[in-house]
Structure 1
């Protein structure tokens, strides 16, 4: 981007507001999706009261407004920060609309995986389909800075790469990570193969650092399973931000 103009500032402010509001709608879904694979989606608070709907804060009116899931404020702040950073890096280009639509589901997936080490198909598969579909719309708009075919190939390549890792070591790489990689690979591929490589490397780096910290703090052993989805997503965000700035 050539300079940070007033219109860019307005876009960043709007993106932050969008992320903040969207983040407020994530906690209830995060709570309901945070169950073991063999269990149905949670439909009651820890005290047994029914949980209605899928979006909104995770607070139970029957419990006097007590929170029963992830806090709305931290989730909202993280989503606002992510959306603001994406807007600052992308500027007025049409693909920003895609990034802002995909950011809240990405935060939701990261929260769920951190809570129960699970990436639900009902979230990863629509993301895998939505990313290339939305980017096709961005590719048809003027002044875009990416390549749709590379995005499509990037999703297939990253998904295939993670599938191989899953076959080699299914205990270290979950199949949910494979399905998540399809969508994230498409997002990274929009800005080229360099962004795909950078985002992939960053994800492994973040996950490795997190695991090392847990081992040093004696909160995990060398064979302890950790949720990799949040780091895969954080790595993709890193590659996307750098790719957008360089485009």
Structure 2
């Protein structure tokens, strides 16, 4: 993909990032900011919501740079996908999944919950790979993608059922939705997509504990780590 097209996709990502803020707010403003077992620690869900969305007024978003930060995140996500998957007919489907993923990350940060409508939208976006497979005459690749979704779902169900697990079934459903595009890229990409979220989350938790921003029993969102791990897996595939 040419530098001009990569730049264009990155700019599209900036727009997607800005749009993710009000989209996520729709699904979180009336949602209780609790999800998991254990008492809320020094950083509560409502404080996370304030960090993510502020007062909810557009002028507040602009003044504090929240829309700018979301736009920067969208630029990096879309730009990385364009560089990694440039020329791939499946790129639009990956960008669609990333668009919903930006809103999902903000929603989970705000209320420690992954809204079902957004998770369903990410799965629908991933199904954009179906016409790509049919048009390209590669139905076997679609079967691998579906197997990837099944493997991802089963792995996260097992993790969620472990004693003391902080994973919610929103995390399980999101992992299954992302397993489809990761499976499309092959088993190594799926393996990375399953491993990287836990490594990323571990680093974040250690940093937060070291800086005394959270306690060991503080509920923290895992959705952003799932999304970031999947994104990195696509770049490395």
TM-score normalised to the size of structure 1? Answer: 0.79
Q: Which residue of 2 aligns with 1:85?
A: 80
CA-CA distance at 1:59 after TM superposition: 3.2
For 2:31 and 2:148, locate their aligned partners in 1 and report how far apart those are by CA, in whole Å: 28
TM-score normalised to the size of structure 2? Answer: 0.82
Q: Is the 8 A contact 2:17 2:67 kept in 1?
A: yes
Q: Sort the Cα spacing of 1:149 and 1:177 in 2 relative to 1 into closer, same or farther, 3 A.
A: same
For the pair 1:29 / 2:27, whether they are aligned, the reply is: no
Gaps of 5+ in 1: 1-6, 40-57
Rg larger in 1 or in 2? Answer: 1
* Higher mean C-alpha deviation, range 116-125 or range 24-33: 24-33
CA-CA distance at 1:38 after TM superposition: 5.6
Corresponding residue to 1:180 among 166, 174, 181: 174
For the pair 1:218 / 2:216, whether they are aligned, the reply is: no
Q: Is the 8 A contact 2:31 2:111 kept in 1?
A: no
**Higher RCO, 1 vs 2 (CA within 8 Å, ≥6 residues apart):** 2
For 1:191 and 1:124, locate their aligned partners in 2 and report how far apart those are by CA, in whole Å: 21
CA-CA distance at 1:28 after TM superposition: 1.1
For 1:8 and 1:114, locate their aligned partners in 2 and report how far apart those are by CA, in whole Å: 35
**Alignment size in residue pairs:** 213
* Higher mean C-alpha deviation, range 94-103 or range 161-170: 161-170
Higher relative helix content: 2
- Regions of 4+ moved over 6 Å: none
For 2:74 and 2:173, locate their aligned partners in 1 and report how far apart those are by CA, in whole Å: 22
Q: Sort the Cα spacing of 1:92 and 1:24 in 2 relative to 1 into closer, same or farther, 3 A.
A: same
Corresponding residue to 2:162 among 158, 168, 174: 168
Q: Equivalent residues in 2 for 1:47-58 (5 A)?
A: none
SS in 2 for 1:147: helix
Gaps of 5+ in 2: 34-55
Corresponding residue to 2:223 among 220, 224, 229: 229
For 2:157 and 2:85, locate their aligned partners in 1 and report how far apart those are by CA, in whole Å: 30
For the pair 1:196 / 2:186, whether they are aligned, the reply is: no
